[in-house]
Structure 1
């Protein structure tokens, strides 16, 4: 959604709009990351319950996940609107300070529907029916593209909304996606047996607390990483509007491949969770190996594509030559950190599958807040490396995270075998 919004805004409105949408989307996703990461622990738990053939537990986990998503909607929604109220503390240009808050407010509201969608998605993912959410998401992306074109430009009798039209497009699309997924789950034979009314009397409060207990640290893992990238956006704004727009283009390309890699991490976590339910250490190790191997192959291919089609990818977003030159340099660093980014997100996924969330949270905090951000700031502002200095800091943080998390997974597997 964010990538589509940014491409449409960059093409139709220009670099100020791109910078405004970029920072608003980054801040909104940063806030949402705690909820999205927190809810992601439910799919491995459902996979574990499936391996144990515990249908009532799957029902309880589904309902508990929906309740947690509603709590996240309220709590993180309040956090989002507080950030909007104090938006000027991020010290952006006057134009971005004027345009970004309204855009961000609409995206924050849309996050509530995204949380419910994510919670419902855990059921289909945990039962290894990942195609369900995928098909709805693909349909949603097409709708989002159409709504962007119509609402930004005021086609088909709609008012010309400009930048806010892009945010409204995301809101409408997320509502439709949530409704479509819930309707599918409750009306399809595959899932109806897990959602039968006879389980309604089963209490879920204990599972709500458990999801919060292991979900919040998991969400913080996402938060620390995404916060590093969001603060990088803010630092780019200090350097100038051209650097901010260029950063937004490069980070959009990198985030697209990251989301694909995170899918492998989710799949790995589900298979590892199944191995945990079966108490089969060999299956856990094998599933982790496969997920890591797949992400190395995939991200190597993405690295080559970014290097070869560097300028073509940048020009999808904008025609401003000054922005294009900066963005092309950043894309080279983006290509280099593909492997580190992929390995660290898959490692987080497979560790989540064995319910290991606390130590990985500290690892991600160390990698991004002790290494990445301070190094990026020093290189950009003290060593005058400008925008690329911030990106070298991000590369260092991702690499440290990838190494430490992978070592953590194999250490725990060795420990399991000994026990």
Structure 2
């Protein structure tokens, strides 16, 4: 990261940080896609088992990983404040915290996975595959969490291209391991869908070793000498991380879990409706990679400027990112409206499912427009370390407004399954408006403090 002086410089720096993040997020999305697709080529039961396992693991991982994202604004503000010597200590404390969280997940999972799966109405084979998949992926939880801490450290320095290369490397590793372990190629055991879990776990270990090499040997990361000194565990520092990370984690969990809840509620509808919903939601999730990446880039750039107390520049970055997100959102919305049928045909050839998917995709347009505002605003607020309001609003938007409205519309109107989408869109739109107001008020409050400070200095 470096200081910028003109809008043109800010745009160039922002895109230099953004594009690698976007490629990284799309690559991570592709890993889940290949896990599901390749498992489905074994059998329907393997596909269902992996889908159940992924639906249980993804919201949990997303929420807990959100806690670790606290390191990004912490480091970016330290760099902006020209206090680089404090960075290694913060990174090590975050690594200790990540290891503790990962170990806790493994221990808790040993006790709760079976009861959760038993409570679901699953065929025995599907249930067994889901259980074994979760066991397999648990071997990679510790390296995955440690990797994400080091990724936050690298990204906070503005070196997002490095983590992009590492993630791009992980995709072919994962696909090759999937091929070997799912289908039993070249003498490897044929594990079916369970093999996708082991492939992911091994991939996580591989990328951990790669990122450790980068941090230890490559500049500018090696200059920080993160592992040179032993630091004792500091519960006070953990508390500071958790104050920022827990609200981020819960906000992400509320957002990811709501879609799993809607999918479960849709089980009362026919197979064609469920399939169309899943197809449209998959595409909406793919497009969401854009505003989410902009959100992450804003956390880095805004945090850097806030740390340097250049609040005017922080404000410029926030509105630059939001403007870019809205512009891209509008382009995507128009494109989806015009090529609605072509997108639907990517997922199905069944005429009934195709028509329903086209209708769901129209609602996805409004998802995109709301996300184009809400996601970057959240990223900017995190750059200010303002995380409690987004957390509370995520809960209200999805669980207090979105889901109940959707349920009422689905149950008591002729909208049926589309009612759930309208409910979620309503909640998300409300959240976008509230968070935008929050960002404006926060920046005005900082402006007032700046003016008062200048008056005191003048007097």
The normalised TM-score by structure 1 is 0.90
Aligned to 1:68: 97
Residue 268 to residue 65, structure 1, CA distance change in 2 (3 Å): same
Q: Which residue of 2 aligns with 1:412?
A: 442
Match for 1:217 among 240, 247, 251? 247
User: Which residue of the partner structure matches residue 179 of structure 1?
Assistant: 209
| Other-structure match for 2:16 | none
Does the 8 Å CA contact 1:62/1:122 hold for their aligned counterparts? no
Alpha-carbon deviations, 1:299-342, whole Å to 9, x = none?
Answer: 23333444444444445455555544433332222233112123
Shift of 1:48: 0.8
Task: Note if contact 2:96-2:233 (Cα within 8 Å) is conserved in structure 1.
Answer: no
Question: Equivalents in 2 of 1:206, 1:96: separation in Å?
Answer: 44
Check whether the contact 1:23–1:230 (CA below 8 A) recurs between aligned residues.
Answer: no
Q: Equivalent residue for 2:24?
A: none
> Which whole-Å deviations, capped at 9, do the CAs of 1:188-208 have from their partners, x for residues lacking one?
121111125554347644322
Moved more, 392-401 or 352-361: 392-401
Q: TM-score, normalised on structure 2?
A: 0.83
Q: Which residue does the alignment assign to 1:2?
A: 32
Change (3 A) 1:393 1:111: farther
Does the aligned pair in 2 maintain the 1:70–1:116 contact within 8 Å?
A: yes
- Asked if the contact 1:65–1:120 (Cα under 8 Å) also holds between the matched residues in 2, the reply is no
Q: In 2, distance between residues paired with 1:390 and 1:93?
A: 27
Report the Cα distance in structure 2 between the residues aligned to 1:227 and 1:407, rounded to whole angstroms: 26
Q: What is the match of residue 47 of structure 1?
A: 76
Secondary structure (helix, strand or coil) at the match of 2:288 reads helix
Instruction: Pick closer, same or farther for the CA change 1:190–1:254 going to 2, 3 Å.
Output: same
Equivalent residue, structure 2, for 1:34 = 63
Q: Following the alignment from structure 1 to structure 2, what is the Cα–Cα distance between the partners of residues 285 and 103?
A: 45
Structure 1 residue 127, shift from structure 2 partner = 0.5
2:276 to 235, 241, 246: 246
What's 1:159 paired with? 189
CA distance in 1 between partners of 2:357 and 2:39 (Å) = 17
Q: Which residue of 2 aligns with 1:376?
A: 406
Deviations 1:88-140 (A, max 9, x none): 43446777545433333434543433221111101111100011111111221
Q: What do residues 137-166 of structure 1 show as CA deviations (whole Å, max 9, x unaligned)?
A: 122123323333443333333333322233
Give SS of 2:322's match: helix
Give 2:357's aligned residue. Answer: 327
Asked if 1:266 is matched to 2:283, the reply is: no
- Does the 8 A contact of 2:279 with 2:357 survive in 1? yes
Q: Deviations over 1:285-305 (max 9, x none)?
A: 111111111211222333344
What is the distance in 2 between the residues matched to 1:185 and 1:402?
37
Match of 1:146 in 2: 176
The answer to which of 408-417 and 99-108 deviates more is 99-108
Q: 1:301 aligns with which of 325, 328, 331?
A: 331
Given the superposition, is the C-alpha separation of residues 326 and 112 from structure 1 closer, same or farther in structure 2, using an over 3 Å criterion?
farther
> Number of residues paired by the alignment?
418
Which residue in 2 is equivalent to 1:195?
225
CA 1:19/1:381 → structure 2, altered by over 3 Å: closer, same or farther? farther
Superposition pairs of residues 319-358 of structure 1, within 5 angstroms:
322-358=352-388
For structure 2, the 5+ residue unaligned runs are 1-30, 450-459
CA contact (8 A) 1:19 1:244 kept: no
Matching residue within 359, 363, 373 for 2:389: 359
Deviation at 1:75, TM superposition (A): 2.7
- Summarize deviations over 1:20-76 as a string: whole Å, max 9, x none: 433432221111122211111211111111112222211011111111211221233
* Mapped partners of 1:74, 1:184: distance in 2: 25
1: CA distance, partners of 2:124 / 2:348:
21
Q: Distance in 2 between matches of 1:385 and 1:156?
A: 51
Greater CA drift, 266-275 or 92-101: 92-101
Per-residue deviation, 1:413:
0.5
3-state SS, counterpart of residue 207 of structure 1: helix
Q: Is the 8 A contact 1:51 1:274 kept in 2?
A: yes
In structure 2, the CA distance between the partners of 1:152 and 1:237, relative to structure 1 (3 Å rule), is farther
TM-superposed CA distance for 1:230, in Å, is 1.6
Shift of 1:217: 1.2
Structure 1 residues 315 and 204, CA, compared in 2 at 3 Å: closer, same or farther? Answer: farther
Contact 2:216 2:225 in 1 (8 A): yes
* CA offset digits 1:221-280 (Å, max 9, x no partner): 111111111211222334354444433332222222223321211110111111211112
